[in-house]
Amino acid sequence: MKKILLLIFFGLLLITQQVFAQRTQVAFKNELFTGVYSEVYQQPLWITYKVLCPTGTASREGMDFYTNDSIKTSDDLDYANNEYDKGHLAPAADFNCDKAMLFKTFSYLNCALQQENLNRGVWRFLELHERELAKGGNAVTVKIELSFTSGSKKLPTGATIPDGFVKTIIVNNKTVEKYYFPNTAPTKGKKYQDYMIKF
């Protein structure tokens, strides 16, 4: 009986250490994007990338998001049975030169809980716009910042839903556009331009 109690104690201690070991900020980087991730929120805090393939045609067929071995991210359960899409931050379509490049965008490090109507509507149209900017040979860099507050909703599965997204578009090293999107079904307008903010 004593051995069982000791095993239970050490098991609980290990679980407690893992919970408290979650990091508030972890930097990450690959060939496509750079950012900072919150293991506490199980969501990115920000990410930046350059549009590399504005006219690529590689297929994403059969691809789905995957977790990371060294950073605790959200996972499939966080996106099940709710109104939130697995929203690419660095869009897959910006990197569809080939399947290997495209696959790198499916990391959960590059994924946010994004309200489905936002993701499939004005957000998607803004992604099309950034690719159009890059088609003329311009160097287009994008930074996306996720906003969280003490009132941000945490899902029972562990991930926290962002309150909103700030997207900054930089063309040829000059900031040209900035937008703020609340993480809700769009009500402000049907055009991405309706969400532009002054900077």
> What confidence tens digit (pLDDT) does each residue in 1-26 have?
666 655 565 555 455 445 558 999 99
Q: Is residue 108 domain-resident?
A: yes
Q: For tokens 């599965």, what's the residue?
A: 157
Q: Is residue 9 domain-resident?
A: no
Question: Could you list the residue range(s) of the whole structural domain that residue 102 is in?
Answer: 23-195
Q: Is residue 13 domain-resident?
A: no
pLDDT of 38 over the 60 cut = yes
Give the strand pairing for 33-38 and 140-147: unpaired
Q: Is residue 11 domain-resident?
A: no
Q: Is residue 121 domain-resident?
A: yes
- Predicted TM-score (pTM) of the model is 0.89
Q: Is residue 149 domain-resident?
A: yes
CATH code for the domain in which residue 60 is found:
3.40.570.10
Q: Is 109 exposed, middle or buried (0-12, 13-18, 19+ CB in 10 A)?
A: buried
Q: Is residue 7 domain-resident?
A: no
> What confidence tens digit (pLDDT) does each residue in 100-125 have?
999 999 999 999 999 999 999 999 99
Q: Count up the domains in the chain and report the number.
A: 1
Q: Is residue 34 domain-resident?
A: yes
